[in-house]
C-alpha cells in the first residue's frame, strides 16, 4: 500500500509566467527519510474537442516555442483568473483562437498534466454544432491557423504521429472512448 | 501557413535536476516582433507497455510529488546518459521498477511531452511475454508497487479516470490503436 509523503518545507524559486517553481522537502511516510523535489505550479489548462455539424473537428496549427515546431492541435488555453468552470474557459478559448461557437458545451474528461513534476490538471471540454461566428482574438504572440479535420481521420492522425502534443492526444483518446460508448460524460 | 520563429538570444536560468530552465527571445518570421519565452529542457522520457502471457499489463502504483497523489501508471523513466535507444531505457526501467522482463521489445510510438514549454519527447516501448524474473532496484526516493491489470480493463480505467497521468494515457491510446490495427509499429 503506497501512502502519501508529507511536505515539511516549501520554498518558492521563481515565477516564470506560465508556471511557478518551488522546492519542497518531503518525508517518506514509513521510513521518515527526507528528500527534496522540484514542483511546477500552474493554473489548470483546458483543451476543446469542437465538432462541426459535418462531423469535423476544429483544429489549429501553431508554432510551439518549447519544441520549436509547428503542431496540429485542438484549441486550448489556461484558465483565466476568476474562471472556475473549465467549460467557460473552453468556450472562450475556442472563440478567441478560431472564431467558432457551438452548443451543448460540457466536460468530457480530465488528466494530471504530469504528476511527477506538475501540480495542475488539464480538462477536456466537448462542444457540438460548432460554426464560424466570430473574428479571432489572439493573445500576445499567438499565431494560429484553423483546420477542419474529419472526425473519422483522427485515430489515424494520432497513430501516424501527425498529432504529437501529449495533452491533445489525451483529449482525443477520451473523445474516442466517448464515441465508443466506453466513456460516460460526467463519469 | 505557419512558419517557425527564430531564437535570437537564449539565457540559462537554472538546473533543477529533472529539467533545466532557459529564457529565449524569439522573432516572429513575418512581423519581426520579438517576444520572450520560458523553455524547460529535459532528456527524453520512456514509458513501457509491458504485457504478460495472460494478457495483463504490468502497472505500478506510486506516489507523485507534483500532484501529491498516489497514481496508477505504467513503468517509465528518463533516458540515462549514454542511452540513445529508448528500447534500452524501457527494458531497463521495466526491470528496475517491477523486476519483469519480456521479449520482442520495440518502439510503439512517441509524443512531445508539452511542446508549448518542454523541448523533449516521450517514447512508448512495447514489451511482450513479460514475466517476473528479477528483484526490483528502485532509484533514490522511488517507492512503487506492481499491479497486474487485464488488458481488457484498460480502456474503462482510462474512461473512468482511474489512470490520470497524461503521458500514461497517451501510451495506452497508442497501444489501443495498435491493437485495433490502426497504428503500425515503426510507422
Residues of chain A found within 8 Å of residue B65, distances taken between Cβ atoms: 5, 24, 26, 37, 39, 116-117
Give one DSSP letter per residue of A34-70, joined into a string.
EEEEEEEE---EEEEEEB-TTSEEEEEEEEETTTTEE
B160 closest CB neighbour out of A39, A112, A187: A187
From chain B, pick out residues whose CB is under 8 angstroms from the CB of A173: 158, 169-170, 172-173, 176
**C-alpha torsion A162→A163→A169→A174, nearest 10:** -80
Give me the interface pTM, i.e. the ipTM: 0.97
Q: What is the pLDDT of residue B186?
A: 67
Strand (E) or helix (H) holding A87: helix A86-98
Best interface-test mutation with A: which of B22, B67, B75 has the largest number of A CBs within 10 A? Answer: B67
Query: pLDDT per residue over A19-31, tens digit each?
Result: 999 999 999 999 9
Give the CA distances from residue A14 to residues A80, A106, B45, B107, in Å, rounded to whole numbers and listed in that order.
20, 35, 25, 37
**B132 is written with which cell numbers?**
517476473
pLDDT digits (tens, 9 = 90+) for B27-65: 999 999 999 999 999 999 999 999 999 999 999 999 999
CA B126/CA B108 separation, integer angstroms: 6
Judged by CB atoms closer than 8 Å, whether chains meet at A111 and B165 is answered as: yes
Query: Quick check: B2 and A145 CB within 8 A?
Result: yes
User: What gap in Å lies between CA A141 and CA A137, rounded to an integer?
Assistant: 11
| pTM for the structure as a whole | 0.97
Mean pLDDT of B17-34: 96
Average pLDDT rounded to a whole number, residues A175-186? 94
Amino acid at each position: 500500500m503506497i501512502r502519501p509523503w508529507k511536505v515539511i518545507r516549501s520554498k518558492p524559486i521563481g515565477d516564470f509566467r506560465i508556471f511557478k517553481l518551488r522546492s519542497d522537502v518531503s518525508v517518506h511516510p514509513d521510513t521518515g527519510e527526507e528528500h527534496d523535489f522540484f514542483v511546477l505550479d500552474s493554473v489548470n489548462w483546458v483543451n476543446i474537442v469542437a465538432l462541426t455539424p459535418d462531423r469535423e473537428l476544429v483544429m489549429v496549427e501553431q508554432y510551439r516555442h518549447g519544441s520549436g515546431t509547428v503542431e496540429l492541435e485542438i484549441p486550448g488555453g489556461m484558465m483565466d483568473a476568476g474562471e472556475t468552470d473549465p467549460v467557460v474557459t473552453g468556450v472562450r478559448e475556442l472563440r478567441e483562437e478560431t472564431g467558432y461557437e457551438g452548443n451543448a458545451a460540457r466536460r468530457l474528461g480530465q488528466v494530471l498534466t504530469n504528476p511527477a513534476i506538475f501540480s495542475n490538471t488539464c480538462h477536456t471540454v466537448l462542444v457540438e454544432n460548432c460554426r464560424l461566428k466570430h473574428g479571432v482574438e489572439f493573445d500576445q504572440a499567438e499565431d494560429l491557423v484553423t483546420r477542419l479535420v474529419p472526425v473519422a481521420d483522427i485515430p489515424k492522425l494520432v497513430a501516424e504521429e501527425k498529432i504529437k502534443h501529449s495533452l491533445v492526444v489525451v483529449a482525443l483518446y477520451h473523445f474516442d472512448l466517448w464515441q465508443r460508448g466506453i466513456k460516460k460524460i460526467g463519469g
